[in-house]
């Protein structure tokens, strides 16, 4: 059995609780994959203390030296692609090609953020006074807590840790207890890359047990969290009276609008990618397809046929096109929402049930599900299901489609399919999201642009792009008169 330890102050150590939690394969609940430390507050305190001690020297280390270490880690990651991909599939359930895509995305984002370190300067501006130097500079914050979800265990960890470290901070990273193995592998390589002790620390455990210490510890200057809106907003509440910066990437209920003039094949393909990749467990998943009335029934039919054709299977099987959901809690929650959808009177077009026969019997498999005739009043249209369940809604016209798209507390991603540039432009202006697409899947992103939501999907500066590293700094305006 693989035993994962915490990585604190450059050492692999057991939790002082003396307890571990077993982690099972979501494609086969009888297969135990590893045991991870069931950490307690004192473990996090130890990690915070190591990170605090390491901070002054790391902050003074010139950026090119910090970048060289991160580059070494990146090279080691590239050399271990196969192991990362297999680990993500084993512990999360997503199919191998999705794990490969996650790996590539993590590499690209990490690479971009290393480069951002070189660009983290501020502006020198002309002063109002003769002989005065006036400029802006940025400084690292100190110790930062990085809290990650299970759905992108590698990409989200890299999206936070690389910018935090390149900007001169030290960190304590806590992965989801559903997916501890991928970040343990990341820290194994980080250890081999030769980072100074205490710069990056890794603690596993349940959010309900160690979350408060990661959030409330007095050393913590910033928290970068990705996860549910419920937990994210609770963190915002806890730090409200303190000077701790927050970056919260939370849930979504992302709409994809199909107008009557759209290329329907492309729109439906994008909706399928958005709805069923990673079994619908992306924060930027397409969860609502809003279709203009003249093409509504055609689109429902096309989606239904494609959903019924998806080959569900163990993620390690290259022939599978959709894996299991990530674990028992997800499974129960998604099946509950499917029953809610049926009770609310939505028209079930595909799926609507768990897969329990034959090789599905030991895993958390759910049939790709499509509900049509969904209205904004229904819970399945309002709440994040985070599973392979797509809601199709009818819009009277373009204005109605934008109105329905915005009828949500969330504001993460959206897309419109149309050939009318004027309508596309209006959609871009009126869609209340942090990521907007035209004739593209809702989940598309590139590392050089910011990634984050508005409304109840995000708080603080977004990740990635230029703000990815900027978040982990404070600003300082400097006025310097060379002669007294
Ligand atoms: P979650 O909120 O249950 O957990 C996220 C992380 O927070 C985990 O590490 C968990 O252990 C920790 N945590 C739990 N309780 C805590 C507490 N009280 N204090 C501190 N930390 C605590 O989310 P999840 O189920 O792991 O992930 C799925 C959610 O993440 C979905 O809502 C999804 O939309 C969201 N997500 C958002 C983005 C984005 O960029 N906006 C990306 C990926 C996932």
Q: Is 278 a catalytic residue?
A: no
Looking at domain 2-250+457-480, its CATH superfamily turns out to be Aldehyde Dehydrogenase; Chain A, domain 1 (3.40.605.10)
Percent of the chain with pLDDT over 90: 98
DSSP string, 194-242: TPPTTSEEE----HHHHHHHHHH-TTEEEEEEES-HHHHHHHHHHHTTS
The pLDDT of 113-126, averaged and rounded, is: 92
Q: Write the residue with the smallest CA distance to atom 22 of ligand 1.
A: 207
Reported confidence tier of residue 182, pLDDT bands at 50, 70, 90: very high
In the prediction, which pLDDT does 122 show?
Answer: 86
From the CB of 149, is ligand 1 less than 6 Å away?
yes
The pLDDT of 53-75, averaged and rounded, is: 98
CA distance 284 to 262: 21
The pLDDT of 24-30, averaged and rounded, is: 97
Among 249, 292, 384, 470, which one carries the catalytic annotation? 249
| Crossing angle of helices 81-92 and 180-193, rounded to 10° | 160
In the prediction, which pLDDT does 51 show?
Answer: 99
Intrachain domains 2-250+457-480 and 254-438 with the same fold: no
Atom of ligand 1 nearest to the CA of 458: 41
Interval between CA 422 and ligand 1 midpoint (Å): 37
Of the CATH numbers 3.40.50.1000, 3.60.110.10, 3.40.309.10, 3.40.50.150, which one belongs to the domain with range 254-438? 3.40.309.10
From the CB of 352, is ligand 1 less than 6 Å away?
no
From the CB of 36, is ligand 1 less than 6 Å away?
no
> Please, what is the average pLDDT of the chain?
97
Task: Evaluate if residue 483 carries a pLDDT over 90.
Answer: no
Q: Write the residue with the smallest CA distance to atom 11 of ligand 1.
A: 207
Q: Is 283 a catalytic residue?
A: yes
The pair of structure tokens assigned to 423 is 């309508």
- Buried b / exposed e over 79-111, threshold 16 CB at 10 Å, is ebeeebbebbbbbbbbbbebbbbbbebbbbbbb
**For the chain, domain boundaries:** 2-250+457-480, 254-438
Task: Evaluate if residue 484 carries a pLDDT over 80.
Answer: no
The pLDDT of 401-419, averaged and rounded, is: 98
Atom of ligand 1 nearest to the CA of 251: 34
In the prediction, which pLDDT does 121 show?
Answer: 86
pLDDT digits (tens, 9 = 90+) for 421-459: 999 999 999 999 999 999 999 999 999 999 999 999 999
pLDDT digits (tens, 9 = 90+) for 346-366: 999 999 999 999 999 999 999
In the prediction, which pLDDT does 158 show?
Answer: 98
The 3-class SS string of 224-235 reads EEECCHHHHHHH
> What number of other Cβ atoms are within 10 A of residue 310's Cβ?
18
Reported confidence tier of residue 20, pLDDT bands at 50, 70, 90: very high
From the CB of 456, is ligand 1 less than 6 Å away?
no
> What number of other Cβ atoms are within 10 A of residue 230's Cβ?
11
pLDDT digits (tens, 9 = 90+) for 322-349: 999 999 999 999 999 999 999 999 999 9
pLDDT digits (tens, 9 = 90+) for 377-409: 999 999 999 999 999 999 999 999 999 999 999
Reported confidence tier of residue 218, pLDDT bands at 50, 70, 90: very high
C-beta of residue 464 within 8 angstroms of C-beta of residue 419: no
From the CB of 147, is ligand 1 less than 6 Å away?
yes
C-beta of residue 412 within 8 angstroms of C-beta of residue 433: yes
Among 283, 349, 391, 436, which one carries the catalytic annotation? 283
Q: Write the residue with the smallest CA distance to atom 31 of ligand 1.
A: 228
């Amino acid at each position: 059995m693989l035993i994962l330890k915490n990585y604190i102050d450059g050492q692999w150590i057991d939790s002082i609780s003396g307890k571990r939690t077993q982690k099972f394969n979501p494609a086969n609940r009888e297969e135990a994959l590893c045991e991870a430390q069931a950490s307690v507050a004192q473990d996090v305190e130890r990690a915070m203390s190591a990170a605090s001690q390491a901070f002054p020297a790391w902050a003074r280390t010139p950026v090119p030296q910090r970048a060289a270490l991160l580059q070494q880690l990146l090279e080691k990651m590239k050399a271990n692609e196969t192991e990362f991909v297999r680990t993500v599939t084993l512990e999360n359930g997503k199919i191998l090609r999705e794990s490969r895509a996650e790996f590539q995305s993590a590499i690209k984002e990490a690479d971009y953020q290393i480069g951002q370190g070189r660009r983290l300067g501020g502006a020198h501006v002309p002063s109002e006074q003769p002989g005065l130097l006036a400029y802006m500079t940025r400084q690292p914050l100190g110790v930062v807590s990085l809290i990650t979800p299970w759905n992108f265990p590698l990409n989200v960890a890299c999206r936070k840790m690389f910018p935090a470290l390149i900007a001169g901070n030290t960190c304590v990273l806590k992965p989801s207890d559903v997916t501890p193995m991928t970040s343990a592998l990341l820290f194994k390589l980080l250890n081999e890359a030769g980072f100074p002790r205490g710069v990056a620390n890794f603690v596993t455990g349940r959010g309900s047990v160690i979350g408060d210490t990661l959030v409330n510890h007095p050393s913590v200057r910033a928290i970068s969290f990705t996860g549910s809106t419920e937990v994210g907003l609770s963190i915002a509440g806890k730090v409200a009276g303190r000077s701790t910066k927050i970056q919260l990437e939370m849930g979504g209920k992302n709409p994809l609008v199909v107008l009557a003039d759209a290329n329907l094949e492309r729109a439906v393909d994008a909706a399928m990618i958005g709805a069923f990749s990673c079994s619908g467990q992306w924060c930027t998943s397409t969860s609502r397809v809003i279709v203009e009335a003249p093409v509504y029934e055609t689109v429902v039919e096309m989606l239904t046929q494609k959903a019924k054709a998806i080959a569900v299977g163990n993620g390690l099987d290259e022939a599978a096109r959709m894996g299991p959901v990530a674990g028992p809690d997800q499974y129960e929650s998604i099946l509950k929402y499917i029953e809610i959808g049926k009770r609310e009177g939505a028209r079930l077009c595909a799926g609507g049930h768990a897969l329990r026969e034959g090789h599905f019997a030991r895993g958390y498999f759910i049939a790709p599900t499509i509900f049509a005739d969904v209205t904004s009043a229904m819970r399945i249209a309002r709440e994040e299901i985070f599973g392979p369940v797509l809601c199709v809604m009818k819009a009277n016209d373009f204005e109605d489609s934008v109105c329905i798209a915005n009828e949500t507390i969330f504001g993460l991603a959206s897309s419109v399919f149309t050939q009318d540039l004027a309508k596309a432009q209006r959609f871009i202006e009126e869609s209340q999201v942090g990521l907007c697409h035209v004739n593209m899947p809702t989940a598309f992103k590139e590392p050089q642009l910011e990634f984050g939501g508005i409304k109840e999907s995000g708080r603080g500066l977004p990740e990635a792009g230029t703000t990815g590293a900027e978040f982990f700094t404070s600003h300082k305006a400097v006025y310097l008169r060379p002669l007294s």
